[in-house]
Amino acid sequence: MEAANAWLAQDPDAETRAELTALVEAASDGDANAVADLHDRFDSRLQFGTAGLRGRIEAGSNRMNRVLVAQAAAGLAAYLLEQEASPSIVIGYDGRKNSQVFATDTAAIMAGAGVRAIILPRLLPTPVLAFAVRHLDVSAGVMVTASHNPPQDNGYKVYLGGEHHGSQIVSPADAAIAAHIERVAAEGRVQDLPRSTAYDVAPESVLDAYIEATAAVAPAPTGEQLRVVYTAMHGVGWETTNRVLHTAGYPMPTLVADQIQPDPTFRTVSFPNPEEPGALDLSYATAREAGADLIIANDPDADRLAIAIPDASTADGYRRLTGNEVGLLLGWQAAKAAVERAAGDAAPEGVLACSIVSSPALRVVAEAHGLEFRETLTGFKWISRAPGIVFGFEEALGYLVNPTTVRDKDGISAAVAFLGFATAAAQRGEDVAALLAEFSATFGSFGSDQISIRYERLSRIGEVMALLRQTPPAVIAGTKVTSIDDLSGGFEDLPASDVLRLWLDDGTRVMIRPSGTEPKLKIYVDVQSTDGDAAARAASVADRLAVLRGELTALVA
């Protein structure tokens, strides 16, 4: 109650102040649920995790709100001033509730602390902010977004410039920033933080430069073009994507009209994530009507990309490709491009990188083209830092195709890259399904599955991980477990992470880890087959994945 009342005394937001006042009154009247809610809000603080700060927009130190954002901005400013004498920062925001408010608060507090602050001119995609960090040569960047989270959430992504090349924060910077934030929170009220309106608004030339660089990733091949459907998933992707496609020479796609403008309520989807069941239903309906060859979908802040292709065997008439399928096709194209860039007999240069839970097939692609392969922890804050990277991806629909300009996942540049090679293939008489079949014939059949187990009690996740470490399974789905890598103490060149990697006798790989953003345990399964023809391999992979899904779900229940 003391913490809640102290929070009320400094909360500048009328909505969260009224909501917390009602909760405090209910708790004072003996409402057990209200008391439990207060504990959940004030017993801890949001910490910089996989996606920086991210949480529900409500009052409390364990929520996203103007008090927490002010403390975070002041803490980040103190960190930057500790690193250099005259630091600078660029700030972006998407169309979610309070995004512009949080961004403006951040700019004012940065300027008040003596950090040169630049705010993007309007709501724009996350990749534009990531680009701006390098383009403007600033010390850091902040993007206010909760990406594909539910409507009631918002978040705060932090990027570092200079030697970090615009990548998201990693250790030890995250811990140092968190320590400054906690100090700011302990020392006084956010009203006492110095603020200034002496911050700059970035010129339109920043967006123009991003559009020019992104369009250059894959200019439209001369000839007949694909019929494309595009959805922004109620996010901020369309304005920028439209200009990129036009600049690159592609025709106007058919739009999913009800999802094309920013809408913080995400009214047509239950969950604004292209991976979720039902999220692409309107896209499928639009594509059927238009007779589309390809569906391109961005998530709300446009840093992720989903692709769907015609498939007569499905009820919708279209099938969304998995993140691994898209990533492997993009990686294959990147590897071919690296070979083409090599002059004469010179060895191709570059690194293909993916997260430890993404398909191991990218290693096979890299080796086949004489390139290096690098495996990283989950998240683009790690993937983007792979030395010499020319392409990186993670199975959660994230792709980095232009590392010389953006060191983060970028759903717009990835869309252009995919559209470029899909168009070229169509002009040769091949569709995307044929490219996938060619990949399988060239490198073998790979199949992946992801199992998410949600627990009501958050502590159960740690209990399950501890049990798996104490008494690991010897056999899974009738196949011997040959080795187990525990990454909690670091493994080879990977930093420590709460991940278990199990290898089975038939080459199957199983990864088990807690989610970085939700109360879930995630299991990633990868199988492969090189026996028989393409149809037999595909059937073998599918059957094996089905059996493993059942057994692994039971293992961690």
Residues labelled as active-site residues: 147
300 within 8 A of 96, measured Cβ to Cβ:
yes
User: Which tokens is 19 given?
Assistant: 């909501």
Residue 54: φ, ψ to 5°: -160, 130
User: Which tokens is 103 given?
Assistant: 């961004």
Residue 410's SS3 state is coil
CA dist list (Å): 117 to 65, 122, 198, 202, 557? 21, 15, 8, 10, 48
Q: Tell how far CA 322 is from the center of its chain.
A: 15
C-alpha 457/C-alpha 410 separation (Å) is 34
Cβ atoms within 10 A of the Cβ of 556, count?
A: 17
**Total residues belonging to the chain:** 557
Residue recorded with tokens 């961004």: 103
C-alpha 417/C-alpha 215 separation (Å) is 9
C-alpha 73/C-alpha 67 separation (Å) is 10
Residue 467: φ, ψ to 5°: -65, -40
HSE value, Cβ hemisphere, 13 Å, CA-based, for 408: 31
> In sequence order, which residues have a C-beta less than 8 Å from that of residue 2 and are 6 or more positions away?
none
Taking each helix axis from N to C end, the angle separating 126-135 and 204-215, rounded to the nearest 10 degrees, works out to: 100
> Bridge partners of 228?
294
327 within 8 A of 358, measured Cβ to Cβ:
yes
- The two beta strands, 88-93 and 167-168, are unpaired
C-alpha 392/C-alpha 374 separation (Å) is 9
> In sequence order, which residues have a C-beta less than 8 Å from that of residue 75 and are 6 or more positions away?
177, 178, 179, 180, 181, 182, 183, 184
C-alpha 136/C-alpha 133 separation (Å) is 6
70 within 8 A of 195, measured Cβ to Cβ:
no
The identity of residue 165, as a single letter, is H
555 within 8 A of 87, measured Cβ to Cβ:
no
Q: Which helix (H) or strand (E) holds 220?
A: none
